[in-house]
Amino acid sequence: MYLFHEDFRIYGDDRQPYGVYVEESSAFYHKHTRITERGYSLSCAGNKYLWKTPPLYNFKKKIRFSYKYPTGDARFTLLFRYDKATRRGFGLSIGFAADETVIFRLCKFEDITCTVIEEKSCPGASYPVDDTSYIADLVLKDNMIIGCVSGALFIFNLPDECNAAGEAGICRNDFLGEIILEDVALESADEIERKIMSAPVTAEIPTYSGGMIPYTLTYSAEVIGGVPYLSFTLDGGVQRRYDYPTLPLSPGQYTVEIDRIKKPYVRFGGVKYYLHNGSLNTSDPRLHWRDVLSEWFDITTLPVQKTVAISESNKIDKISFGYERMEADGYKMQSEGEWEFVFDGSGAVIERRAPEDTDFCKVDSVKNDVYKLIPDDCVRRDEVLRHFDGNHYFSEAEPIKFEFCVYTNKDPRFITLRCQLLDVYGCPLNDRPAELSAERISDCKWKVKSAPLPVACYRVIVDVFFGTAKIAGRDVAFEVFDINGEKCAPLESGLPFLFSVPNEQQHLDRDPFDPWNPYESCNMEHYYCCTSFTGHVAEDRRTWELTRPFAREWYVWLSDHRTMVDHDPEKHKDIVKYADYMYFPVDDETAVLRHDYWNINSYRSGLLSVLSGFLDAHPDIRNKVGWSDGEAFTKPHLEKLLVAAKNDWYSWANRHYLECFKRQNEYFKERNPNFKRACYGPFSLYAIPMHTNYFIDGFGFAQGEALAKDIYNGFCQFEDYPCSCAYQTYRGAYSAATILLHNPGLVIYPEQYTSSDGGCIDGLVKFATPPLGAYRMQPWFNTAHAREYVYNTAYYKNGGYHFLNKYGFMHRDLTPADVEYFVRHWKAVVEHKPARPLRSTCFIAECSPSDDRVEDWGKDKIGYQHIFNISDSGLGFVYETSRMSGLPCGFMTDWDSFAGLTEDDCDLIVLPSLAEAPPKAVEHIRRLYNQGVSLFAVSRVDGLEDIFGVKPSFRKSRVNVISDTIGNSEYILPLDAEFNYAPDGAEVMMYAGDEPVVIRNDRAVLLNSAPSYIGRAHYLDIPQLGGFDSISRLLRKVCSGMLRQLSDPIAWTDISNGDTVTGLTLIRDERGRDILLAIDYSDHSQEEVESRVTETVVCFKDSGWKNIRFCEDEGKDQASPLIENGVLRGVHLKLHMHQSCMIELTN
């Protein structure tokens, strides 16, 4: 039995399917065909298309086909017993008539002549329509051909001369439109001689580009009926997870590895045979939502098998498997480059190389000292040695030596090489020229040498030329390490504290700094200063033996939440001993380290015991709550508790758990003096709107010095996901500034992600870019996000300005392109560390307990209590409106430090409630107002009613529509809103029904109701701690106008409607230079990620600036100075979506 099948989904670089031989009638490159979504389109007449089978006499054939723009009889012919050498044979011609008949013609072909032998008309088939599949069945048996086409039956007797085996195929007639072949299946019982040239051999493909489980390639060759064929099958990989030993699973690990292999192919005899023309995607069998996500990710079920006709009937001595790119989740640091793996006839790997038709430069380093750091008994030492053979490490005492080998088919006489030695940011070093003299040691091999360098990270850039044309290049990072293991090279270079935590992915055994990584010249490992091997992997490999010599720290979760099955520290003494940062669960936690006192689901035995102690000490509160020990604690009980004694209860519980943290610290420090706690925290920023530090207490943490000293004495892994959750990058910086203001010494390291194909189980990610959370982001997004934390976290405390100054980021599985962009642009931070903001808006980040509101509002799907604070709600709303109004970024302060500010520091003060404000602070507000500083209040203005032109008049009113003074109105969610004041000489700028919302009196504006009341969001109907934010566009527009009118800024944008997409920051750096930072705040439109460019003009007051200087090279394409009479009047900006720009303003 001989079988042939072609589905036209896979094709060669010539865009022709492998199962088709084209008998050409013209020189057109397209061979009269094209590949479409439906299949192989025969787009015009003239050629014949023969299946690559041995000559056949009898067979059965089924063809599925469709039409595009069929006209006339839309005729095509099925060829059989055709001799391509003499171009003679027979065919069945099929045409469609308008009267629902099919006209069949038995034809004979001789050269270019087609003669009709017999014609029949058969009823039963309607005229074909566009994009509809039809079936043609044909049976060729001795002297007869029978079959059916679209329901019309036919039978012909064949002439006696039709008596020789031959090729089968198809051709089409001349009509307007296309016939599209979707699938061809052929079966023959002819006796056909078969000869095996190479028996099946299975080769294991190295996991060089990532992935934990190797793929396999099985290949063989045979001659069938005189035609040589190559067969190959791709199998294995992550789909075979159950066939391999696995790490212990934790229920919290909900993601699995998905591999994406772009354009995988087999190369044999100099020809590429693709297994997929796009991305062949496979997944771990434990993929969640498997039915949905298998389709969403276009998962291919292995094995994938292909048989192709080849030109020579030789034994397989050499065969290659390759791809343009492979990307495995959790292993993206290895995803750079296209590679081929060459195997011999036995399945052994001969070499790994760039594709043979690609010019490529291989980089090798010549070093010795790094091998002294590798223990003789380290785990899998052969893999470790290969890793350091292929990656680039020198000690401070070693000269820098590299060798470059160029692989090319070009004449080596005309090959030249240029080499530069630069710092990690791609800039020249201070003490030596960038250019290195390369010595040629053979036709295509060079070497360079430089003197030893200090501990840091560097890069060597190689450009290869053929004549004057660049044909290849490499940008390779390397590291000079401290032989004593004390100084960390990336930190010595000024890079931030970078790490990548893999806690959510099952079985992952890779880290960016990973001595077992097979990838050569892996730049990313030189940028990361902290590893995050899971406990099981670390114990198995004793990772600390190979990371500590390079001054890399280790952050690990010793917890059954995601990472460990058993987290008893007495059973994991090595983890406790060698971890530099560790998360270990605290007593009674609801989420990691948290107790979430506002969530009814937190109130289990442990927390209830603490609550019982609190209520025993406060019997009056117990009476109000109405709960007794032993009975169920319900949501009504919780609401009464929070209304009666929220802050007292929080303080009591936080004191209790602070002692738990201290006991843990003592335990772990006895076993590891370097123990530091790190974890998510202090709250889940992505899940809540714009908030200050005020609500940290409700998550179970005592604020103040204790937060950094006793709880997060390592760092907070800050869950800020602006691109994943489609909010702006300023949210995290705002909250971080208020947290740092009130919690001295706390270290905050935000998380950063990359583009996603979707599938996240978190609804806040999944629905931010529906339906399943797939989004694209450009590499510059994370740079803009990082700059928010560096430059937009200003706070004034103890007589001076401060910023977040311990830089670090959790990079979760970023691609090499993402990280390289981030690293190169970090240079601007190194060169321009902020010292103080220039005059801008002051936000007094203090919240009064009297502003707390507890509501049983919304459908409350998961037991959350809706709690918000009026001052907190207002401060966040005004900050966000300010950022979207083209005004310079403001800074934070507290009541104690506020007295040190003058009119030179701020032009506008945003006030929280003054109900509990210190009298001296209120006096200072009045003093600054009299000196020309404007005011914007978001709550009570006790003691300043005369300035705001209002009088106390508290009431609640049902509101459902708001309106401004020029006729604009907007329906909002109906709510019972609170209003504190009535106008007393002031002007009302916005009403909610008849109630004044925005009140203005000269240079003082009052927001007379919390934004959470005016246009409340209710996304998913799940209340969050801190409350829902306002989504009212009209409220933002009116407040934006007020902010622009009240402010007297140094710089502003030419767009002022509250929807500007360019955020401004003005700072003075540590060397006294004035810096403008601009960040694009476009909406997260996925349709415009690649294309959107926004133009903005930044206008300046006369501040003595005369020109600009670019902080980085790409600034030349982003900013143009607007100069009048030698004075800098503005800057014209052109920014891509979510891009940032830094320029120096010069005198």
Q: Is 602 helix (H, G, I), strand (E, B) or coil?
A: helix
Looking from the CA of 229 toward its CB, the CA atoms found within 13 Å total 25
Q: What mean pLDDT do residues 924-935 have?
A: 98
Phi, psi of 416 (to 5 degrees): -130, 165
992 contacts 1014 by C-beta, under 8 angstroms: yes
Q: Is the pLDDT of residue 17 over 90?
A: yes
Where along the chain do the CATH 2.60.120.560 domains lie? 2-188
Distance CA 793, CA 799 (A): 16
d(CA 727, CA 735): 14
Say yes or no to pLDDT of 431 above 90. no
Report pLDDT for 826: 98
- With contact defined as beta carbons under 8 Å apart, do 135 and 64 qualify? yes
The arithmetic mean of pLDDT across residues 194-203, rounded, is 96
Q: What is the pLDDT of residue 150?
A: 86
Is residue 1044 left, alpha or beta, with left meaning phi > 0 and alpha meaning psi from -120 to 50? alpha
Residue 977, number of CB atoms within 10 A of its CB? 23
Residue among 216, 177, 197, 209 nearest 41 (CA): 177
| pLDDT-based confidence at residue 1025 (cuts at 50, 70, 90) | low
Q: Name the band, by pLDDT with cuts 50, 70 and 90, for residue 80.
A: very high
pLDDT tens-digit series, residues 769-790: 999 999 999 999 999 999 999 9
Residue 853: beta bridge partners? 868
Give the distance, in angstroms, between the CA of residue 121 and the centroid of all CA atoms in the same chain.
60
Per-residue pLDDT tens digits for 116-130: 999 999 987 889 999
Contacts of 952 (CB under 8 A, 6+ apart): 945, 980, 981
% pLDDT > 90, the chain: 89
The 10s digit of each residue's pLDDT in 615-669 is 999 999 999 999 999 999 998 999 999 999 999 999 999 999 999 999 999 999 9
Report the DSSP beta bridge partners of residue 935.
909, 1004
Quick one: three-class SS letters along 741-775? HHCCCCCEEEEECCCECCCCCCHHHHCCCCCCCCE
SS3 1006: strand
Residue 1029 has pLDDT above 90, yes or no: no
Average pLDDT score over the chain: 94
Packing angle, helices 1033-1046 and 870-883, rounded to 10:
70
Q: What is the pLDDT of residue 100?
A: 86
DSSP of 782-811, one letter per residue? HHHHHHHHHHS--EEETTEEE---S-EEEE
pLDDT of residue 1054: 87
The DSSP symbol for 723 reads: T
Q: Closest Cα partner for 42 from 152, 166, 182?
A: 182
Please tell me the pTM assigned to this model: 0.94
Confidence of residue 503 (pLDDT cuts 50, 70, 90): confident
Residue 881: CB atoms within 10 A of its CB come to 24
Can you say whether residue 583 is alpha, beta or left, with left for phi > 0 and alpha for psi between -120 and 50 degrees?
A: beta
How far is it, in rounded angstroms, from Cα 563 to Cα 651? 31
The answer to whether 519 touches 642, Cβ cutoff 8 Å, is no
Beta-carbon contacts of residue 377 (< 8 Å; ≥ 6 apart):
none
Nearest alpha carbon to residue 306 among 240, 216, 229, 192: 229
pLDDT band at 858 (very low <50, low <70, confident <90, very high): low
Is the model's pLDDT at 602 over the cut of 90? yes
Whether residue 62 contacts residue 33, with contact meaning beta carbons closer than 8 Å, is answered with: no
CB 60 within 8 Å of CB 50: no
Q: Is the alpha carbon torsion for 990, 992, 998, 1000 positive or negative? A: positive
For residue 309, give the DSSP letter. Answer: E
Which of 393, 343, 337 lies closest to 365 in space, CA to CA?
393
Per the DSSP assignment, residues forming a β-bridge with 1019 are: none
Mean pLDDT of 226-239: 96
Query: Where would I find the beta strands (DSSP E) of 541-682?
Result: 553-557, 581-583, 678-680
Start and end residues for every CATH 3.40.50 domain found in the chain: 841-1048
Task: In whole angstroms, give the CA distance from residue 190 to residue 80.
Answer: 14
User: pLDDT band for position 1056 (50/70/90)?
Assistant: low
| Residue 1022 scores a pLDDT above 90 | no
Kindly report the backbone phi and psi dihedral angles of residue 1058, in degrees, each rounded to the nearest multiple of 5, phi listed first.
85, 0
Q: Which CATH architecture has domain 841-1048?
A: 3-Layer(aba) Sandwich (3.40)
Beta strands 1140-1146 and 1107-1110 are antiparallel
Is residue 1128 scored above 80 in pLDDT?
yes
Amino acid sitting at position 426:
G
**Average of pLDDT values for 1091-1117?**
92
| SS (HEC) of 426-456 | CCECCCCCCEECCEEEECCEEEEEECCCCCE
Question: For the residues of 657-691, what is the DSSP string, one character each?
Answer: HHHHHHHHHHHHHHH-TT--BEEE-S--GGGS-S-
Q: Are 993 and 961 in contact (CB under 8 A)?
A: yes
Per-residue pLDDT, averaged over 709-714, amounts to 98
d(C-alpha 469, C-alpha 471), whole Å: 6
For residues 961-982, give the mean pLDDT.
Answer: 96
Q: Which class is domain 2-188?
A: mainly beta
Considering the four listed CATH numbers 3.30.420, 3.30.379, 1.10.600, 2.60.40, the one that applies to the domain covering 1062-1146 is 2.60.40
